[in-house]
Structure 1
Amino acid sequence: MAEPPMLQVEDLNVLYGDYQVLWDVSMSVGQKEIVAVLGPNGSGKSTVLKAIMGLAPVRSGKILFEGQDLTRVPTHEMVAMGISMVLERRRLFGQMTVRENLLLGAYHRSVNKDTRSRLEWVESLFPILAERRDQIAGKMSGGEQQMVAIARSLMSRPRLLLMDEPYLGLAPRVVKQIAGIIRRVNEEGIAVVFNEQNVKLSFGLSDRGYLLEGGRMVLSGTGEEMINSDVISRVYLGV
């Protein structure tokens, strides 16, 4: 019997005021999967992640995490459920140190009792952050700041990690480094959902992928199927 999905999004509609951004979007994420959501600028891919995390207003539809409806769960309570998110453009506290930024990832009462062990685990995944724990975060490079943002989200030891445009503004060499980090995080048993614009890198990394166009889900498949799809070439690459 097939294992039920960890995350199930069903017929999701999102409006900002009177402007509708998503129409009947459905997708699923299995246990320990890497799933990529791609689409042109303005397609709604960031809104999908924000809606899951309670950061965008859901007009209708369901968002189920391990069978529990998230649509009325406050964002901060999702941390206790095992969900975390790396925000677009990192959103670090630039005047605080690396260590202080990481500790903020364990602020919630459900996870702050074993902060030391969580910190040791995160620093084992990111040795450079252990070396630079006293450095001011705002003075680090873009790639290093992205590592801090990912590590901060992992301080709650989530089972599902959402990543909003993790490669945004990074040099190609750093993009490959962040992709490797996503693999390492997934190897720790954490399901990862991220959105991006790099077709080959994203679908090459993911187990499955989805394509959004104009706020509607138009295609889904394995990473390999998505890379080789004529629809991807038409919608996304303009071929």
Structure 2
Amino acid sequence: MSEPLLTVENLNVLYGDYQVLWDVSMQARAGEIVAVLGPNGSGKSTVLKAIMGLAPAKSGRIMFEGRDITRVPTHEMVALGISMVLERRRLFSAMTVRENVLLGAYHRSAGKEAKSRLEWVEDLFPILAERRDQIAGRMSGGEQQMVAIARSLMSKPRLLLMDEPYLGLSPRIVKQIAGIIQRINQDGVAVIFNEQNVQLSFGLSNHGYLLEGGRVVLSGTGQEMIGSDVIRRVYLGV
């Protein structure tokens, strides 16, 4: 078996004096889709933020392609091959769709391939080519999520982090975004995303982790997670 693309080892994260993550460990291999599931307040968003350098680790280690990135600043992550789709899109609402997407290629490591990357993301999201001159803030929530994903893909990441990619979207758009995640993955990008929907998360993923109270309480393949009694206890109280 190949070495993991990403390894998180015994990660502890605090917000002020309040500890959010307790000795969290997980892995993602190249070509995998990994789901991080948990109820509200379980720390699943913090895991992604810690990987991206947005939530500093108190202790533990984060390795990417054999390199320790635990203390690497967020602005250097793009050059390493990691990108993130933030919760609630975080677009520049007064700018056009095209302007928002091109911001994803701002780093010199991505700028040289901006034209080919733009062609690729517009092939993934044809609506973005059609609406390139539209003001992003006037698009629907689902369309804005596509812009946010496209922007993150412009840097040609090998690992894409997605913080609650289905939040606030209709079932039809959720299904569409899930299909896009699969296609991104088929094009060689490993994906880690967090979510609360059990079937949607683990049905899509190769591997999954369940967080409760800032700790990993279960991990396994997607199908193993779907059938787990622990999942039923955490989510259904049975």
TM-score range, shorter chain: over 0.9
Secondary structure class of the residue paired with 2:109 = coil
Aligned-pair distance for 1:205? 0.2
**How many residue pairs were aligned?**
238
Aligned-pair distance for 1:118? 1.2
Secondary structure class of the residue paired with 2:188 = coil
Residue aligning to 1:53: 52
Amino acid at match of 1:34: I
Aligned-pair distance for 1:134? 0.5
Instruction: Tell me, in whole angstroms, the C-alpha distance in 2 between the residues paired with 1:29 and 1:50.
Output: 16
- Alignment gaps of 5+ in structure 1: none
Secondary structure class of the residue paired with 2:175 = helix
- Alignment gaps of 5+ in structure 2: none
Amino acid at match of 2:202: F
Residue aligning to 1:125: 124
Secondary structure class of the residue paired with 2:22 = strand
Residue aligning to 2:28: 29
**For 1:128-139, what aligned pairs fall within 5 Å after superposition?**
128-139=127-138
TM-score by length of 1: 0.98
**For 1:180-219, what aligned pairs fall within 5 Å after superposition?**
180-219=179-218
Instruction: Tell me, in whole angstroms, the C-alpha distance in 1 between the residues paired with 2:75 and 2:114.
Output: 17
Q: Deviations over 1:1-20 (max 9, x none)?
A: x2000000000000011100
Aligned-pair distance for 1:58? 0.5
Secondary structure class of the residue paired with 1:111 = helix
**For 1:62-211, what aligned pairs fall within 5 Å after superposition?**
62-211=61-210
Aligned-pair distance for 1:51? 0.2
Aligned-pair distance for 1:236? 2.0
Secondary structure class of the residue paired with 1:55 = coil
Residue aligning to 2:4: 5
Instruction: Tell me, in whole angstroms, the C-alpha distance in 1 between the residues paired with 2:51 and 2:168.
Output: 24
Q: Deviations over 1:157-182 (max 9, x none)?
A: 10000000000001111111111110
Structure 1 stretch displaced more, 70-79 or 23-32:
70-79
RMSD, aligned CA? 0.6
Identical-pair percentage: 82
Q: Deviations over 1:90-109 (max 9, x none)?
A: 00000100000001000011
Q: Deviations over 1:7-54 (max 9, x none)?
A: 000000000111000000000001110000000100000000000000
Instruction: Tell me, in whole angstroms, the C-alpha distance in 1 between the residues paired with 2:156 and 2:16.
Output: 34
Aligned-pair distance for 1:114? 2.1
TM-score by length of 2: 0.99
